């Protein structure tokens, strides 16, 4: 099979130093392909890019009726947040409203992704807690699913737990593909991650954006999650992050979410299109350049939106003295 196309490259001085290959696809809710490149049928782990799909279990299992989740909580259920104060305080409140605490989270702890938040924690002489884990909002949503189902939340991260079965069912319904045991791994936050074709992930996002082909409660849930994420883009990622800046610039018209190892997914809601992209070598900066190049071409940016996308489509590379010595840039392959 032919290699995937080069979608981004690193220029140092006047010479190309690195080239990054990847695959991408844009589809409508019926699966009609708007644009694609590379092998879009190869199964990939979507990682955190599909948290909004996983969060549909909140609606399928009636946790939304039981807890009346605030829009901030729904946004956090879709989030890979940076551990800033508004992230941790909202997750803490999320848990508290359900009678739970940080001790109930099974995602583990890591330092905040945000530099200022990390420095503040160190200066205070405090260790990070599971609240700082970028997935703590998603895990809070999964705990709400356990409580709504009336099952013991302990071990909710395990593949055979009722919560993960509900999450798996929701994702399968949206993408129209079976998630099989021969293509399953464990994500960084300890829940299962399932591989499926890039095409399927893009189609799922188109369905979520439009509601087409989904049971009514999934369609309503998808709209609620997308509306919450685009209303609170800072809660979905954090200060200066691509996801936050793009969703803020598009003011509800576009849902964007990245995942580890160079995955980028989302929906151009104003068009009813879903998209999915994978950088072959997992380089996140390269995937940011790639998705920005794709959106520059297909998401009809106005001047303000173009300015946001271009800062990621052409990322300056600086040496230790702060001198610009090159750039990571999208290649016109879309």
Q: Taking residues 133-161, report their average pLDDT.
A: 98
13: helix, strand or coil: coil
Task: Tell which residue, 143, 150, 146, has the closest CA to residue 73.
Answer: 143
Mean pLDDT value of segment 263-280: 98
**Residue 298 domain-assigned?**
yes
Q: List, for residues 203-248, the tens digit of each pLDDT value.
A: 999 999 999 999 999 999 999 999 999 999 999 999 999 999 999 9
Six-digit token string for 212: 């087409």
10 backbone φψ class: left, alpha, beta (φ>0; ψ -120 to 50): beta
- Compute the Cα dihedral for 193, 182, 199, 162 and give only its sign: negative
Domain-embedded: residue 285: no
> For residue 124, how many other CB atoms are within 10 A of its CB?
8
Both 176 and 301 in one domain: the answer is: no
Q: Comparing C-alpha atoms, which of 213, 182, 210, 229 is closest to residue 54?
A: 229
Give yes or no: residues 255 and 306 share one domain: no
Q: Which residue from 41, 93, 35 is spatially nearest to 199, judged by alpha carbons?
A: 41
Compute the average pLDDT of residues 307-321. Answer: 97
Residues 33 and 86 in one domain: no
Q: How confident is the model at residue 316 (pLDDT cuts 50, 70, 90)?
A: very high
| Shared domain check, 10 and 118 | no
- pLDDT score of 26: 98
Q: From 157, 159, 212, 195, select the one nearest 30 (Cα to Cα).
A: 212
What's the mean pLDDT in 81-104?
A: 98
Mean of pLDDT values over 83-99: 98
Kind plus residue range of the DSSP H or E element containing 185: strand 184-186
Domain annotation covers residue 53: yes
170-195 burial code (b ≥16 CB/10 A, e <16): bbbbbbebebeeeeeeebbbebbbbb
Contact status, residue 91 vs residue 140, Cβ threshold 8 Å: yes
Domain boundary among 243, 271, 299: 271
Handedness of CA 234, 237, 241, 244 (dihedral sign): negative
Question: Are both 88 and 202 inside the same structural domain?
Answer: yes
Residues 116 and 135 in one domain: yes
Assess if residue 280 is contained within a domain.
Answer: no
pLDDT at 149 over 80: yes
Tally of domains in the chain: 2
Q: Assess whether pLDDT exceeds 80 at residue 1.
A: no
Q: Show the domain range for 232.
A: 45-271
Say whether both 174 and 231 belong to one domain: yes
Same domain, 103 and 231: yes
- Does 235 lie in the same domain as 313? no
> Cα(56)–Cα(75) distance, rounded to whole angstroms?
12
Quick: pLDDT tens for 4-37: 999 999 999 999 999 999 999 999 999 999 999 9
Same-domain check for residues 21 and 54 = no
Q: What does DSSP say about strands 324-330 and 196-197: parallel, antiparallel, or unpaired? A: unpaired
**Of the candidates 218, 236, 271, which is a domain's last residue?**
271
Q: What is the average per-residue pLDDT within 182-207?
A: 98
Is residue 49 one of the residues assigned to a domain? yes
Same domain, yes or no: 261 and 322: no
Distance CA 255, CA 205 (A): 9
> For residue 1, which of 31, 32, 42 has the smallest C-alpha distance?
42
Distance between CA atoms of residues 199 and 37, nearest Å? 11
pLDDT interval class at 332 (50, 70, 90): confident
In a domain, 117, yes or no: yes
Distance CA 248, CA 253 (A): 9
Cβ atoms of 207 and 213 closer than 8 Å: yes
Task: Assess contact for 289 and 233: CB atoms under 8 A.
Answer: no
Please, what's the b/e burial string for 295-320 (b: 16 or more CB within 10 A of its CB; e: otherwise)? Answer: bbbbbebeeebbebbeebbebebeee
| 284 in a structural domain | no
Do 92 and 203 share a domain, yes or no?
A: yes
- If you average pLDDT over every residue of the chain, what do you get? 97
pTM: 0.96
Tell me whether residue 283 is in a domain: no
């Amino acid at each position: 099979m032919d290699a995937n196309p080069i979608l981004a490259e690193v220029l140092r001085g006047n010479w190309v130093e690195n080239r990054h290959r990847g695959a991408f696809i844009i589809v409508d809710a019926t699966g009609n392909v708007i644009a694609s490149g590379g092998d879009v049928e190869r199964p990939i782990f979507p990682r955190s890019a599909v948290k909004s799909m996983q969060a549909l279990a909140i609606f399928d299992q009636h946790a939304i009726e039981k807890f009346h989740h605030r829009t901030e909580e729904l946004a956090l259920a879709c989030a890979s947040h940076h551990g800033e104060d508004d992230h941790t305080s909202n997750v803490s409140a999320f848990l508290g409203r359900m009678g739970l605490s940080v001790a109930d989270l099974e995602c583990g702890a890591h330092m905040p992704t945000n530099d200022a938040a990390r420095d503040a924690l160190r200066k205070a002489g405090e260790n990070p807690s599971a609240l700082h884990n970028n997935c703590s909002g998603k895990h809070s949503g999964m705990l709400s699913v356990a409580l709504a189902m009336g099952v013991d939340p302990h071990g909710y991260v395990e593949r055979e737990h009722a919560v993960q079965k509900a999450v798996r069912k929701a994702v399968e319904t949206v993408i129209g593909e079976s998630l099989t045991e021969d293509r399953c791994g464990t994500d960084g936050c300890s829940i299962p991650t399932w591989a499926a074709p890039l095409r399927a992930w893009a189609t799922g996002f188109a369905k979520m954006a439009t509601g087409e082909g989904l049971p009514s409660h999934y369609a309503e849930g998808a709209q609620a999650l997308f509306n919450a994420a685009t209303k609170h883009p800072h809660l979905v990622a954090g200060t200066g992050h691509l996801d936050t800046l793009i969703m803020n610039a598009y003011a509800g018209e576009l849902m964007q979410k990245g995942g580890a190892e160079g995955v980028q997914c989302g929906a151009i809601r104003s068009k009813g299109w879903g998209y999915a992209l994978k950088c072959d070598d997992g380089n996140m900066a390269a995937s940011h350049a790639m998705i920005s190049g794709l959106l520059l071409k297909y998401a009809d940016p106005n001047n303000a939106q173009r300015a946001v996308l271009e800062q990621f489509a052409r990322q300056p590379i600086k040496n230790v003295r702060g001198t610009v010595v090159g750039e990571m840039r999208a290649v016109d392959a879309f």
